Structures are given as structure tokens and as C-alpha cells.
Amino acid sequence: MTNGYVNRDRRWHPPSLTPDYKTSVARGPRHAPLSFPTTLVEETGPVFGHDMLGERDNDLILNFAKDGGMAIGPRIIVHGQVRDEFGRGVPGALIEVWQANAGGRYRHKKESYLAPLDPNFGGCGRCISDAQGFYEFRTILPGPYPWPNTMNDWRPAHIHFSIFGAGFAQRLITQMYFEGDPLIWYCPIVDTIPTREGIESLVAALDMARTVPMDARAYKFDITLRGRRQTLFENRMEGL
């Protein structure tokens, strides 16, 4: 079986060459992409089991903390549903996240921002979507940080996401932003997204209904992956 997935709509994604985001000039391909049919491997793997995850993988407040400590920062829950472009929940999707700490600093050897490291915050986590595609993790609100693009560029607060869907052909790497952050509209990386609608699809809404009183605020972020074509399976449509 080939071409099991609908073609990506490239107009929705940022073009690879966007000179206002300066490093894209060196990284952006100079030739038009070639199209290949998907293969069985891309359509059927990878498959992740829930037993692969550690007990605290979905809790960034505690998963790097030592001696009963906790990560510093505003406590939040991020949750939502992984769906395909036909609105069907994607179960068993591995969601990996990484982010700066509350001061806007990454735990990385090439990090150069002067904000301090938090000894109890690593900045990485993961979870797997449930049978209906829903996922959830707990973390602290990341801080904005400056980056060397032009004279004075700041990244809005964001969480990086990598999502494996039901097949490699659905892989998506993206960033989530926070409702109400004024820096979203000044960011040259955000500005590579062609439409306002596309940008807003990456902005998680404050979700008071899922807030834990006296504990954590909640943000809702639904994720849309490339859709699988419906195929006839005996006398019914697969996925219905």
C-alpha cells in the first residue's frame, strides 16, 4: 500500500527559506522538494507502548527535581487532543516536549543567556495519547528569551513539541505559544507562518475548566496531524 496519507498542504506551513529568520538562509533548500509515495514503513510505524514511559515523564515539575525539590515557576497543565485533519483522534501518539525554564534559560551546553539554571528543572518530558487521542502533562510556564537574529529579538514563551502519530508520515515538530503573550506578534520565527489563522492554531488557550484550584493553571492545545486516507476494510471504512 502506498500513498496512504493525504498530501501535506504546504501553504499552511512556513516556507523553508525566510530571510527575516536569518539562519533559514543557510538551512533552507535551494531546490523544489521532490515528492515520493509513502512506504509501508512510514505508514505503519513506529508503535510506542505506554510501558515505555517513566512514572514522571509527563511531570516536568518533578522529573528532574532532587531531594524533594520542585521546579521554580508558575505551575501549569498542558492538555489537548491529537487529531488528524479529518478530526479523528490519534491514539498512541508519542508526544515529546522541551522548553526553557521560568527564567527563559535552556539546560544545554550551547545556551548563552545569562538567566540562571534551575537545579530542579531539566526541561524535557513526554507522554502518549490515550485511546481517543487525548494527552496531558504538567510543567512550569517557560520564560521568554532573547536570541541573536537581528539587534533585539525575543522569543515569546513557548514549548517545543515533537509528535509521532500512527506512522512516520505523520511526524510533526512544532511550537506552542500562550494566549495573551504580546511577544508572539514580534517574533521573526512566528512571522514565517503564512497566515494569522496558522499562527493562532499554535496559541494555547487558558482553560479555566481544567485549572487545579490552588495548584496549577491549565492551557489547552489541540494538535492536527496529517490525515490518513480511509481505506475499505471488508465492508466498512477503516477508522469509522
Q: Which residues are catalytic?
A: 106, 145, 155, 158, 160
* Strand partners of residue 219: 78, 206
Residue 21 CB partners (closer than 8 Å, separation 6+): 149, 188, 189, 191, 192
Report helix, strand or coil for 118. coil
d(C-alpha 72, C-alpha 139), whole Å: 10
Long-range CB contacts (< 8 A, 24+ apart) of 212-215?
212/77, 215/75
- What are the cell numbers at 128? 502518549
Residue 143 CB partners (closer than 8 Å, separation 6+): 73, 100, 101, 102, 103, 104, 105, 115, 157
Pairing relationship of beta strands 203-206 and 172-178 according to DSSP bridges: parallel
Helices (H), the chain: 24-27, 40-44, 196-200
d(C-alpha 158, C-alpha 98), whole Å: 9
- What are the cell numbers at 109? 551546553
Report helix, strand or coil for 192. helix
